[in-house]
Amino acid sequence: MDKIDSDLLHEITDLEGENFEGAYNIRKNGKGIERKVTENINIVTKKDVSGIDIYVKENTKFEIVHIPVIITESGLNDVVYNDFYIGKNANVVIIAGCGIHNDHHKDSQHDGIHRFFLEEGAKVKYIEKHYGEGTGTGKRILNPVTEVHLKQGSTLEMESTQIKGVDSTIRETKGVLEDNTNFVVTEKIMTHGMQSAKTIFNVELNGKNASTKVTSRSVATENSVQQFESKVIGNTECFGHVECDAIIKDNGRVIAIPEIIANNVNANLIHEAAIGKIAGDQLMKLMTLGLNEKEAEEAIINGFLK
């Protein structure tokens, strides 16, 4: 693993070197290059398609799984299918993410299709970070698909971040929730230049007392464009809250398309969306604290995307 590899890994995992705690699988340029399993977490290579199956034993407590992907080969189109089977009452943190380094003219693309199957009472915190870098004209493209199936009493909290360097992304997240389940999604996206980002959420609240909270915070700068589509369907006594907040700068554009569908009289669904430039009074307050306009703007955006 060279410096570019470890820098990419650092960007998407916040860890120095490869000191992963717990189980992990590192994928580089379409192939698994390092793997560790633990007593409670097994990782198996898929036979039919490229990807892995991750099995977490029931009652596993507070273990971490890292499954980072790095791409340094220009022109590569990597598609991976990763399935997570989380046993009853297990409680784990899963850290995924993809970093692309592209110094050449060909496009590099990674499509990660992640499916989560949580058994009764399981709890997962899923963190994914997407990042791109490099001097080439080839685009860095990331199209993650996340599918979440929650059985009774299980919860999944997902944090998804894309701050820099990804030219094009279409992010699809789907949730199917049974009784007493909770699916929380927090997404943070910042786009620059001519970048485009599209997010599609689709959550079906099928079980009694199923709930979801989707929060999207995005910043579109320069000539970039973002689209946020969300669809929450309440089929029973359930609760859904979608919040989309966006800051636009320069010629940045944001489109928010909400859709909430209540198919049951006891479904309680809320959608909030706000798009606008940085408020002048926010800039002014920070300037009275001694920050110049540029520093104030950065502080506001950093806080917003924190």
Partner 1 sequence: MLEIKDICFSRDNKKILDHINLNIDTDKFVVITGPNGSGKSTLVKIIMGIQKPDSGKVLLEGKDITNLSVDERAKLGIGFAFQQPVKFKGITVYDLLKLSSGKPINKNEACNILSKVGLCAKEYVDREVNNSLSGGELKRIEIATVAVRNSKLAIFDEPEAGIDLWSFQSLIKIFEDMRKIVKGTTLIISHQERILNIADEIILMKDGKVETKGNKEQLLEKVLERPVCCKLEGGKING
Which residues of this chain interact with partner 1, rule CB under 8 A? 217, 245, 279, 281-282, 284-293, 296, 299-300, 303-306
**Rounded least distance, CB 132 to partner 1, Å:** 23
In angstroms, the CA 28 to CA 23 distance is: 17
- Judged by beta carbon, residue 38 or residue 282, the one nearer partner 1 is 282
Containing H/E element for 122?
Answer: none
The residue type at 73: E
In single-letter form, the type of residue at position 28 comes to K
Task: Give min distance, CB of 251 to partner 1, in A.
Answer: 23
Helix or strand run (H / E) with residue 94: strand 91-101
- Distances from the Cα of 235 to the Cα of 93, 147, 156, 240, 266, angstroms: 29, 19, 20, 11, 9
Residue 32 and residue 23 in contact, taking contact as beta carbons nearer than 8 Å: no
Smaller CB distance to partner 1: residue 110 or 188?
Answer: 188
Q: How far is the CB of 159 from partner 1 (least distance, A)?
A: 14
Please state the closest distance from residue 302 (CB atom) to partner 1, in A. Answer: 8
Nearest distance in Å: CB 186, partner 1: 11
Count CA within 13 A, CB hemisphere, residue 18.
19
Burial 288-303 (b: 16+ CB within 10 A, else e): eeebeeeebbeebbee
In single-letter form, the type of residue at position 292 comes to N
Nearer of residues 33 and 287 to partner 1, judged by Cβ: 287
Q: What are residue 74's phi and psi, to 5 degrees?
A: -70, 140
When the beta carbons of 45 and 292 are compared against partner 1, the nearer one is 292
CB 64 within 8 A of CB 92: yes
Of 187 and 245, CB closest to partner 1: 245
For the bound state, the minimum distance from the C-beta of residue 283 to partner 1, rounded and expressed in Å, comes to 9
Select 44 or 284, whichever has its Cβ closest to partner 1: 284
CB of 228 to partner 1, least distance (A): 16
Q: Tell the smallest beta-carbon distance from residue 269 to partner 1 (Å).
A: 21
User: Of the two residues 19 and 288, which places its CB atom closer to partner 1 in the complex?
Assistant: 288
Cα–Cα distance measured from residue 22 to residue 38, given in angstroms and rounded to the nearest whole number: 7
| Helices and strands (DSSP H and E) totals, the chain | 3, 20
Nearer to partner 1, 17 or 303 (CB): 303
Q: Is 99 exposed, middle or buried (0-12, 13-18, 19+ CB in 10 A)?
A: buried
